[in-house]
Amino acid sequence: MYTDEEITAEININGNTNYITKSNLLSGSQIFAVGDSHTIFYHNSLQIHEHWLCVGKLPLTIYTLLQYGLNIYEVGNLLGNGHEKYNIKQNDYVIFYYGFNDIQKNIHKYSCHDYKNAITNLITNYVQYIVLLKHTYSIKPIISCIYPNPRPNALGQNNYGSYNDRQIYTIFANNILLDLCKKNSIPFLNIYDYITDNDGFIKQEHTADNIHLDYNNKLLRKYVEDIIYLFCE
């Protein structure tokens, strides 16, 4: 086990802990988190590889993921950024983190008067695409719930609609995800209620920047990673 000092040194050298992360599954499979900026929660994880980096044509919304049609290895190569030794391989577990940016911006901007159909179509196509990746590349997908609204004092947000609008969209989308994950036998990482306060914002005690889960919160990490490991062999 690495000490906090060794973990900090590794991050200073390579930007995250991906070189020293090992999922320690009996099969040898590794666990990856792919998607939008919420994957940064695994920035200093020693069990799950963080695979987020805003470069080139990397899709950060469901819409762009489907538009670009990147396969899992192209996504891995983009995100590898020179760390190809930990890119996704056959039989690896891949947690998909998508939908937050669609909900926070595009749904209200383009489809506020017909959000139910817009979200239903978007989520349905998203899950179908992940099923395709599962069978084409022999990966084991896990789909994360869409996370709640950032707190009102979050910096750098350019959202559309009211907080209440986006909370409604998020809950509606997560219910569809739950149903489709069940139908397609895909594990659903549903921690929405755990990380959301009574007003629909990410809980203050779980975030350092008012948007994302706090990757330095060890109790929170254990809680989330323990759930993920229940999905793995």
Res. 138: pLDDT tops 50: yes
Go through the chain and tell me how many residues it has.
233
CA atoms in the 13 A half-sphere facing the CB of 203: 13
Label the pairing between strands 140-144 and 93-97: parallel
- CATH placement of domain 4-231: 3.40.50.1110
- Give the model's pLDDT for residue 170: 97
- The C-alpha atoms of residue 176 and residue 165 are separated, in whole angstroms, by 17
Question: What does the angle CA 97 – CA 72 – CA 149 come to, to the nearest 5 degrees?
Answer: 10
SS3 of the chain: the string is CCCHHHHHHHHHHHCCCCCCCCCCCCCCCCEEEEECHHHHHHCCCCCCEEECCCCCCCCCCHHHHHHHCCCHHHHHHHHHCCCHHHCCCCCCEEEEECCHHHHHHHHHHHHHHHHHHHHHHHHHHHHHHHHHHHHHHCCEEEEECCCCECCCCCCCCCCCCCHHHHHHHHHHHHHHHHHHHHHCCCCEECCHHHHECCCCEECHHHECCCCCECCCCHHHHHHHHHHHHHHCC
Partnered with residue 188 across adjacent β-strands are: 143
What does the pLDDT average to over 13-42? 91
As a whole-number percent, the residues of the chain with pLDDT over 70 amount to: 90
Mean pLDDT of the chain: 89
Res. 201: pLDDT tops 90: yes
Contact 11, 43 (CB under 8 A): yes
- The C-alpha atoms of residue 78 and residue 142 are separated, in whole angstroms, by 20
Q: Which residue has the tokens 């050298």?
A: 13
150-185 pLDDT per residue, tens: 999 988 777 899 999 999 999 999 999 999 999 999
Contact 205, 195 (CB under 8 A): no
80-117 pLDDT per residue, tens: 545 556 788 889 999 999 999 999 999 998 898 999 99
Res. 132: pLDDT tops 50: yes
Highest mean pLDDT among 10-24, 74-88, 122-136: 122-136
Domain limits, the chain: 4-231
Contact 123, 180 (CB under 8 A): yes
Contact 11, 44 (CB under 8 A): yes
